Amino acid sequence: MKAWLIKNRLAVLPMLILYGWLVIQTAWVSDDAYITLRSMENFIHGYGPIYNLGERVQVFTHPLWFLGQSMANGIFNAWAHNPLGDGQSYFLNVFMSITLSILAMAGLIFCVAKTNWGTILASASLILSKAYLDYSTSGLENPLTHLILVAFIWLLLSSDELKPNRILFLAFVASLGALDRLDTVLFYLPALTYLIWRSKHKSYSLLLIGLGFLPIVTWEIFSIFYYGFPFPNTAYAKINTGISALSLISQGFFYFWNSLRLDPITLVMIFGMMIYSWWQKEIALRLLAGGILLYLLYTISIGGDFMTGRYFSAPVLVSAAILVRIDFDAIDIKAISSRIGAPAFHLLLTSLVLVLGILPFFLIPERAASFGIGDEGGHRVYVDAHDISDERRVYAGMNLIRRLRTGPLVSEFAREKWVYDPETPRVVKLVGPLGFRGYILGPNAHVIDMNSLADPLMPRMPLYQINEWRIGHFRHFIPKGYVDSLKSGENNIEDANIALYYDKLSFVVRGELWSWSRLVEIWYLNTGRYNHLLENIVVTP
């Protein structure tokens, strides 16, 4: 019986149960998740996958996650008296995240793992990783990213053969990962490149990978046609800033430093497994480490994020996948120390994991309950000197257990009440955080935010203060007359060049979808034909 338990990984089942319990206890929904939920409500109620009615702008960065939530909410909307009530969008988001996260951990344990000791250490590391546990939920795409990564790793490690079906399936899973979040394609790039390099029929392998990537290619074609641009509007808001690459890289290193202070086990795990993989004969582990490296370099280049740990949840999972492949029984313990035996060696490793995971609660002030500066909307703002915040603590009020006790925060337009009334006067609302505040306003309000996430013109404008910014929160200039333009539906922008550019842009995001002239303007806007109109803009308060 003992041998059967070990062979079938049931010996580590308690780790999966513990993880599931912790995910449920810590489950939460971030404010950013409601940006997607507003678009989802518009979509399932027949207004299109957009944020503001009448304006085709993609505000979500995770199409696959968006489509999954839309499908689930659409089904539950057909169930008139379902038990989730007006809190349906919140609860479905959380329950989907929990389910996907448990499936990802189960896949790691039962499909990817090679040894029980490696599995126990990897599971413990993920459980103690603040980054991984925090973003096992959050309302964002991370849980789906994790599950897709586990599926890809399982396919990659299950065989060394270059069969066409295997190449096709790997490419397809990688495409789903890119569809869930485009920048995660970096994790898959080394493995796919290696498959092409090893193949005797490189052209055929390229064709198979191209076929596998049809999901993301199809989305990109749709995105260009429907929205007018290949990337989410949020990407343009965060790229068109004028901030120097050096400043962003510096902020990126601060993002790593923040994680090392608050959550040391995560980065120790990531870099430890990257180094280990290069000493191994199993080439697949090196390919996984190469994907981690590409993603970490990318994270530094964009300045990291304002959410502590968010960009490390996927790398630490891939690192755990490397750890579960280590055959500890094959390690020459005597070579490490002539005085240490296998039990002591295992105990030493386990203790190291526990110390790295638990120590921050006692030594790092940001992990203590008293940490926080300022007050925002009645809650403490947990943020460091470089404006990187502990978002799960900022939005502690969105915790699942708390919401089950007190009821979810809902919009008066929830479910069947999400109806556009053409008789309602057009209202333009400028909000701070775009998420929940925009969501509760319903479909009749046109909502824009200071960070330009939902508006098509503002991301093309310079920043108000190029030396005063927070990563992920770039305050773009609002041209004089622009808000009046949104209210009236007429172009009242005072600057003639900006007004002309807006005419072109507005035609793309508001004009007749199937117009040939619109397709021409899409080409012109994406190739920079009108960029000269945005030069030498004078920023005024």
Query: Both 297 and 434 in a single domain?
Result: no
CA distance linking residue 469 with residue 403, whole number of Å: 33
Dig out the tokens for 321 from the structure.
Answer: 């996948």
Dig out the tokens for 400 from the structure.
Answer: 């699942």
User: How high is the pLDDT of residue 144?
Assistant: 98
Question: What are the distances in angstroms from CA 82 to CA 74, 76, 527?
Answer: 12, 7, 48
Query: Both 356 and 431 in a single domain?
Result: no
Half-sphere exposure at residue 412, Cβ-oriented, CA atoms within 13 angstroms: 4
CA distance linking residue 368 with residue 391, whole number of Å: 15
Strand, coil or helix: 358: helix
Query: Both 328 and 460 in a single domain?
Result: no
pTM equals 0.91
Query: Both 358 and 435 in a single domain?
Result: no
Dig out the tokens for 160 from the structure.
Answer: 């060394």
- Residue pLDDT, tens place only, 367-410: 444 344 444 444 445 788 888 999 998 888 899 999 988 887 77
Among 241, 248, 257, 247, which Cα is nearest to 385's? 257
Q: Are strands 427-431 and 445-449 parallel, antiparallel or unpaired?
A: parallel
CA distance linking residue 487 with residue 349, whole number of Å: 62
Q: Give domain status of residue 524, yes or no.
A: yes
Q: Give domain status of residue 445, yes or no.
A: yes
Q: Give domain status of residue 411, yes or no.
A: no
Query: Both 348 and 464 in a single domain?
Result: no
Dig out the tokens for 35 from the structure.
Answer: 């940006």
Among 212, 214, 218, 207, which Cα is nearest to 171's? 212
Check: CB of residue 537 under 8 Å from CB of residue 462: yes
- The residue from 314, 334, 363 where one domain ends is 363
Dig out the tokens for 24 from the structure.
Answer: 């449920």
Backbone angles phi, psi at 52, to 5 degrees: -110, 135
Query: Both 225 and 316 in a single domain?
Result: yes
- Chain centroid to CA 248: 19
Query: Both 227 and 97 in a single domain?
Result: yes
Q: Give domain status of residue 180, yes or no.
A: yes
Angle at which helices 202-212 and 214-226 cross, to 10°: 50
Check: CB of residue 130 under 8 Å from CB of residue 22: no
* C-beta atoms surrounding 275 within 10 Å: 10
DSSP state of 116: H
CA distance linking residue 243 with residue 326, whole number of Å: 43
Q: Give domain status of residue 407, yes or no.
A: no
Q: Give domain status of residue 521, yes or no.
A: yes
Query: Both 323 and 430 in a single domain?
Result: no
User: How high is the pLDDT of residue 77?
Assistant: 87
Query: Both 190 and 266 in a single domain?
Result: yes
Q: In which region does residue 390 sit, left (phi positive, over 0), alpha (psi from -120 to 50) or beta (all else)?
A: beta
- The residue from 329, 363, 397 where one domain ends is 363
* C-beta atoms surrounding 14 within 10 Å: 11
CA distance linking residue 87 with residue 186, whole number of Å: 36
Query: Both 23 and 108 in a single domain?
Result: yes
Residue partners of 261: CB distance under 8 A and separation at least 6:
360, 364, 366
Dig out the tokens for 89 from the structure.
Answer: 């969008």
Q: Is the dihedral of CA 340, 343, 346, 347 positive or negative?
A: negative
- The residue from 313, 342, 363 where one domain ends is 363
Please give the single-letter amino acid code of residue 327.
D
Query: Both 355 and 432 in a single domain?
Result: no
CA distance linking residue 147 with residue 130, whole number of Å: 18
Where would I find the H helices in 341-385?
A: 342-358, 360-363
Q: Give domain status of residue 406, yes or no.
A: no
List, for the chain, all residue ranges whose pLDDT scores fall below the cut of 70: 1-9, 328-381
Q: Give domain status of residue 419, yes or no.
A: no
Strand, coil or helix: 28: strand
Strand partners, 200: none
CA distance linking residue 32 with residue 306, whole number of Å: 12
Query: Both 309 and 442 in a single domain?
Result: no
How many domains, in total, are found in the chain?
2
Strand, coil or helix: 52: strand
In which domain, by residue range, is 429 found? 425-534
Backbone angles phi, psi at 476, to 5 degrees: -85, 150
Exposed e or buried b for every residue in 188-213, given b needs 16+ CB within 10 A? bebbbebbbeebeeeeebbebbeebb
